[in-house]
Structure 1
Amino acid sequence: MFEPILANVREKTPLVHNITNYVTVNDVANIVLACGGSPIMADDPKEVEEITSICNALVINIGTLNERTIESMILAGKAANKYGHPVVLDPVGAGASSLRTDTVFRLLKEVQFTVIRGNLSEIKTVHAGSGNTKGVDAAAEDVINEGNIDEMVQFAKMISEQTGAVIAITGAIDIVANKEEAFVIRNGHPLMSKITGAGCMLSSVAAAYCGANPQEILKSTAAAVSGFGYCGELAYQKVEELNGGTSSFRMYLIDSMSKLDFKLLEGGMNLERR
């Protein structure tokens, strides 16, 4: 199912424009390279439209938000829509401040997003305008578990219909859905929450996958989420072997992504369709 998705990323080397989090920008660039894409980071309003025009996909990540980059995000998003490029929104910390929440709703009003990826608290804010975000993390009560999966699948499908975007809710269990179909994904490792930028990296991997496969947005996003999660599992195995820690885990996460192909993913992906 995902074999052509991964092959296209390696063969086409999609150029991904990232207006992203200053805290994680280096890791984002490296993970895009590792998955087979090519990153470019540009956030000045004077050039974002031109940069977007030459790229295959755009990521708008509000992790380190300021007034200048808000303008850049709007300009780049509209340009990407004009050229028909996939646009991924990562609403980092939506609900934690009025600026973040208001910016998310301005972006949703002015830009048509292809994919929206966030934790459950952030996605609840996208839906309702408020959530239980704790800083940039999901609230303790906002957890997808075996008891509420059916409810959360329906919630993701509803948000997809509301926004017109594929919705990726990520956490201990991930859900990737459009308004009609969903994937429940059980790949990943808890150590992924102990490094800065795992979510930022995933959003840009999803953009690379979608940029290489613009006609298969749901499958591309599911492949990115499952593949990135499985790379987390592989990275943890390596850390355990070498008695490493969180810094080693980050390195092995990127290493694992650089070696991921369909044969490897097929043996490790854990997902079901709903």
Structure 2
Amino acid sequence: MIAFVEHPEALASFSGNAFACRIRATAAAYGFAHPFARFWVQGREAALCLLDDVMILDARAGADFDELAAFLPAAGARTVLCSAEAAQALPFPRRATGEIMALRERAAPVEEAEILWDPSPRLLYPLLCASQTASFLPPPFEPFYLDLSHRTRHGAARSAAIRAGDSLAACAICSAKTEEAAVLSAVAVRPDVRRRGFGARVVLALAASLPVDTIYIFRASGENEAFYRTLGFTGHSHFAELDVQERNNL
């Protein structure tokens, strides 16, 4: 049975993957009193977080996927981010797929004078827009600004950037952070300064500053694998983004 969550203890048993990290970091940042951020559990088999209309699902072995399939649209989810294994058990078409990579071994923190820590989202956003690709579309500015600012103030997010000239050259954003794991949600390099090492330096600086066991990144299929492997990331699992508004004929 799916139950509404009102206390962080209900999510304490969920860990060990990027979905659990994102769910628990959202709960730590927003708490349980906001109507736009809601949480549920299905026993110890699944945890769910709905932020606006995007559902993050951490489903384990033994989850009741029939119940989840009926619940997701009823809860107001338009899209669901989940593991590839969970996606196979749910009757919704896939919008996107990719690999989750993990970084565990990393260098000790190094103080780089040129690193800007937690710059304003107003500075980060133009860089994200300049790095747009077919698989990476920057979110609307206002939700991005409000969410990252709020998470940073509450210790659930951290970002780093390097400036070159009059604007930022590269940035890396950790938008979910718990006591044991973190998720990098964006890495961007200005087109005119690419292949100069800015991206690698900002990712490694941010990673070294995060006091967690594992850092995850969601990598779109066919993009940037060599870059992340060079930095020490290895394959961990696979994810899928599902369109809840449509159902497969299973």
Instruction: Identify whether the pair has TM-score above 0.5, normalized to the shorter chain.
Output: no
The higher relative CO (CA closer than 8 Å, separation ≥ 6) is in 2
Larger radius of gyration: 2
Q: What is the TM-score of this pair, normalised by structure 2?
A: 0.30
Q: What is the TM-score of this pair, normalised by structure 1?
A: 0.28
More strand by share: 2
More helix by share: 1
